[in-house]
Amino acid sequence: MTSPLPSPSAASVLDLAPVVPVVVVSDASDAVPLARALVAGGLPAIEVTLRTPAALDAIRAITAEVPDAVVGAGTVLTSEQVTECVAAGARFLVSPGWTDALLTAMRASGVPFLPGVSTTSEVVTLLERGVREMKFFPAQAAGGTAYLRSLAGPLPQARFCPTGGIGPATAPEYLALPNVGCVGGSWMLPADAVAAGDWARIEELARAAAGLRDAGGTSR
C-alpha cells in the first residue's frame, strides 16, 4: 500500500481493526446508520463493495457523515473505478485480483490499496513491484490458514487481509498468523438485521468481531 491513512491513526488499514466489514449496500440511506453501528462496535475500517449501484453514494454519505469511519471501496476492477471511488471519498481500495493497468491506477491514486492474490507467484510479483500488503482471496477456497502459514517462511515481508468464506469461528485462526494483519468478512451484517434497520444488533456483532484477535492465541 502507498500512503499512510489519516485519523484514526495507523500506518495501514491492516492495523485499524482485526476485522474489515465487507459491506454490500443496496439502499444508500442505510449507509450512514450502518457505518455508525460498525464504528461504535470497534470496526472503523469499512469496505463498501462496488457490487450495487448504491455503492458510490454510500461511500459519499459515510465520508460526509461518519468522520470516525475509514471507508474504502472494494471489488475495484478498473482504472475508471479507482478514479470514481477516490473522488467519492474512499480512503483505501481493495481489488479481488489485479492487472498491470489496475495496479498502476491504484498506485497513482494516492490512497492505500490491497490488490488481491491467491498464488505464490502473484505475491512474489507484487513484492518485486514494491507492494507488501495484499488481499488474499478467496481465502478459504485458495488454501486458507495452511496456505498463508506456508507463505510466512519464505515471504515474511508480505502481509495479508484474507477474505472469502471467513466467519467468526475461523477468523481467530487467521488472526493468529504472523503474516495476517486483519481479515475481511460480512458475518456481522446479517441481511435480516440490515433490512430491519436493527443497528443495535449490528453494533453488538461488530463488537464481538473486534475482539476476535484475542481469541486467536499469541503467535503473531
Catalytic residue IDs: 47, 135
Label residue 8 exposed, middle or buried (CB < 10 Å: 0-12, 13-18, 19+).
middle
For 152-177, give one letter per residue: b (16+ CB within 10 A) or e.
Answer: beeeeebbbbbbbebeeebbbbbbbb
Rg over CA atoms, the chain: 16
Cell of 211: 475482539
Cell of 118: 491467491
Residues in the chain: 220
If you search the block for the grid coordinates 454519505, which residue do you land on? 61
